[in-house]
Chain A
Amino acid sequence: MTELRPTDEMTAAEREALIASMRPEDAEGVPELHEVEVPDELREQIEAAMSRYPQLRSAAIPALWALQRYHGWCSPEGIRQAAAVMGVTPAYLEALATFYDLFRTTPAGRHQVLVCHNISCWLRGADDLTRAFCEAAGVGAHEADHDGASSEDGEIFIKGFECLGACDIAPMASIDQRYYGPLDGDDAVAAIKQLRTGAEVLPGKALAGRPTAGGPEPEADPREAEMEGA
Chain B
Amino acid sequence: MPETRLLFRHIDEPGLSSIDVYRKLGGYRTLDKAFKELEPEEVLAELENSGLRGRGGAGFSMGKKGSFLPRGEMEKYLCCNADESEPGAFKDRELMTKNPHQLIEGCAIAALAVDATYAFIFIRGEYWEVADILDRAVAEAYEAGYLGRNILGTGKRVELVVHRGAGAYICGEETALLDALEGKRGNPRLKPPFPAIQGLYGGPTLINNVETLSNVPHIVRNGADWYRRFGTEESTGTKVVSVSGHVERPGNYEIELGISSREIIYGLAGGPLEGRRVKAWFPGGSSAPVLTEDDLDLPYTFEALAKAGSMLGSGSIIVADETVSIPELALRTARFYHHESCGKCTPCREGTNWTVKMLERVVNGMGTPMDLDIISSVQENIIGHCLCVLGDSMAMPVGSMVQKFRGEFEAALEGVRVAA
A34 within 8 A of B: no
Are B182 and A55 in contact, with the CB atoms below 8 A? yes
User: A229 and B336: CB pair below 8 A?
Assistant: no
Q: Does A199 contact B (CB under 8 A)?
A: no
Query: Which of B25, B88, B169, B217 lies at the interface centre, i.e. has the most chain A CB atoms within 10 A of its CB?
Result: B88
| A123 proximity list for chain B (CB < 8 A) | 245-246, 318, 320, 324
Determine if B165 and A165 form an interchain contact, defined as CB atoms under 8 angstroms apart: no
When distances are taken between beta carbons in the complex, the residues of chain B under 8 Å from A122 are 332
Q: Is the C-beta of A226 less than 8 angstroms from some C-beta in chain B?
A: yes
Partner of B11, one of A161, A162, A212, A221: A212
Which residues of chain A come closer than 8 Å to B102, judged between CB atoms? 230
A52 close to B (CB within 8 Å): yes
Bound form: Cα–Cα A170–B244 in Å: 8
Residue B375 is within 8 A (CB to CB) of chain A in the complex: no
In the assembled complex, how far is the CB of residue A16 from the closest CB belonging to chain B, in whole angstroms? 22
Q: In the docked arrangement, what's the CA distance between A165 and B98, Å? A: 15
Asked if residues B166 and A101 are in contact (CB atoms below 8 Å), the reply is yes
Distance in Å from the Cβ of A11 to the closest Cβ of chain B? 25
- Once bound together, how far apart are the Cα atoms of A8 and B94, in whole Å? 51
Q: Are B249 and A224 in contact (CB under 8 A)?
A: no
- A56–B16 CA distance with the chains assembled, in angstroms: 34
Q: Chain B, 236-274, contact with A by CB distance < 8 Å: what is the 0/1 string? A: 000000111110011111100000000000001100000
Stretch from B125-133, B298-306, B351-359, B380-388 contacting the other chain: B125-133
Contact with B along A161-179 (1 / 0, CB 8 A): 1111111111000100111
Which residue from A52, A61, A167, A229 sits with its C-beta under 8 Å from B221? A229
Q: Interface residue count for A (Cβ, 8 Å)?
A: 59
Which of A54, A224, A229 is in CB contact (< 8 Å) with B29? Answer: A229
Residue in B closest to A53 when the chains form the complex, CB atoms:
B161
Cβ of B173 within 8 Å of any chain A Cβ, yes or no, is: no
Would you call B417 an interface residue if the criterion is a C-beta within 8 Å of the partner chain's C-beta atoms? Answer: no
Considering the chains assembled together, what is the distance between the CA atoms of A207 and B282 in angstroms?
24
Tally the A-B contacts, defined by beta carbons under 8 Å: 209
CB <8 Å contact, B12 and A168: no
- Choose from A163, A179, A211 the contact partner of B88 (Cβ within 8 Å): A163
Q: Which of B23, B221, B250 contacts A168 (CB 8 A)?
A: B250
**Interface residues in A27-58 (C-beta closer than 8 Å to B):** 52-58
Best-buried of A60, A99, A174 by chain B (most CB within 10 Å): A99
Given contacts A123-B245, A165-B89, contact A58 B163 (CB under 8 A): yes
With a cutoff of 8 Å between Cβ atoms, the chain B residues found around residue A102 in the complex are 125-126, 166-167
A9 within 8 A of B: no
Residues of A within 8 A of B185 (CB): 95-96, 99
Dominant SS at the A interface? loop
B4 touches A221 (CB 8 A): yes
A114: Cβ under 8 A from any B Cβ: yes
How many Å from the CB of A205 to the closest CB on chain B?
14
Return chain B residues, CB-CB under 8 Å to A179. Answer: 129
Contact of B169 among A119, A162, A207, A218 (CB under 8 A): A162
Q: Name the CB-closest residue of A to B93.
A: A165
Given A55-B182, A167-B90, A230-B9, A99–B168 Cβ distance below 8 Å? yes
| B92 neighbours in A (Cβ, 8 Å) | 165
Chain A residues within 8 Å of B27, by CB: 229-230
Q: Is the CB of B9 within 8 A of A65?
A: no
Report the Cα distance A120→B88, complex, angstroms.
6
CB distance A228 to B26 under 8 Å? Answer: yes
| B194 contacts A by Cβ under 8 Å | no
Closest to A123 in B: B245
B333, closest chain A residue (CB): A119
Given contacts A229-B29, A230-B10, contact A213 B252 (CB under 8 A): yes
Interface string of B6-48 (1 = CB under 8 A from A): 1011111000100000110111011000000000000000000
In the assembled complex, how far is the CB of residue A129 from the closest CB belonging to chain B, in whole angstroms?
A: 15
Contact A165-B249, Cβ < 8 Å, known A170-B244, A224-B4, A230-B10 = no
Q: In the complex, what distance in Å separates the CA atom of A120 from the CA atom of B3? A: 23
Cα A116 to Cα B336 with chains together (Å): 11
Contact in complex: B129, A177 (CB < 8 Å): yes
Which residues does B use to contact A, with CB under 8 Å? Answer: 2-6, 8-12, 16, 22-23, 25-27, 29-30, 75, 84-90, 92-94, 97-99, 101-102, 118, 124-129, 161, 163-169, 180-186, 201, 217-218, 221-222, 226, 229-230, 242-246, 249-254, 268-269, 282, 286, 316, 318, 320, 324, 329, 332-333, 336, 339-340, 342
In the complex, 16 of the A-B residue pairs with CB atoms within 8 angstroms, ordered by the A residue number, are A99-B185, A100-B165, A123-B320, A165-B93, A168-B242, A170-B250, A214-B3, A214-B253, A224-B6, A226-B222, A227-B6, A227-B9, A229-B26, A229-B27, A230-B26, A230-B27
The 10 closest A-B pairs by CB, nearest first: A213-B251, A167-B244, A101-B167, A57-B183, A100-B166, A60-B183, A102-B167, A230-B25, A177-B128, A230-B27
Known: A118-B286, A230-B102. 8 other contacts (CB 8 A): A62-B163, A65-B164, A100-B166, A119-B333, A165-B124, A214-B254, A214-B268, A224-B4
